[in-house]
Amino acid sequence: MNPLEQPSKGTLTEQIPLDLGDREEEVMPETKGIDFESLETTELERLFREKVGYDPRMRFLSQGEMERRDTLVEGIRDPTKGKDAVALWDANDDKIGDAWSGR
């Protein structure tokens, strides 16, 4: 039998069952009772630093205040999104620095 004519064994995800669970349950359940609207920006920055592991004080400054707060809250609720936001911010900041330095 020609190898190209063999029956498909399915995709990798069909071969290995993948249980990701309920994503909503896994995303920082202890943040559900927090009233983020009542917190000062400095408190949001502290929580972001605790949950995400990066200091946001010198990041996201070009965003408007509400957009910056939304970014901080999103990172507190889901640290993976917070790390993604930091990586994107740092990458864009590097591009700006390279442009100024002539690289």
80: in domain: yes
The reported pLDDT for the residue numbered 65 is: 93
pLDDT band at 92 (very low <50, low <70, confident <90, very high): confident
25: in domain: no
The reported pLDDT for the residue numbered 58 is: 87
Euclidean distance between CA atoms 14 and 87, whole angstroms: 32
What residue type is assigned to position 93 of the chain?
A: D
The answer to whether residue 12 scores a pLDDT higher than 90 is no
> What pTM does this model have?
0.63
pLDDT tens per residue, range 24-51:
545 566 777 788 999 999 999 999 999 9
5: in domain: no
What domain range includes position 91? 36-103
pLDDT tens per residue, range 61-74:
888 999 999 999 99
Give 86 or 8, the one with higher predicted confidence: 86
From residue 42, alpha-carbon distances to 46, 55, 68, 81 in Å are: 6, 11, 12, 20
96: in domain: yes
Token pair of 51 as six digits: 């949950």
71 and 23 Cβ atoms separated by less than 8 Å: no
53: in domain: yes
81: in domain: yes
90: in domain: yes
Alpha-carbon torsion angle 25, 28, 34, 37, nearest 10? -100
40 and 48 Cβ atoms separated by less than 8 Å: no
Domain count, the chain: 1
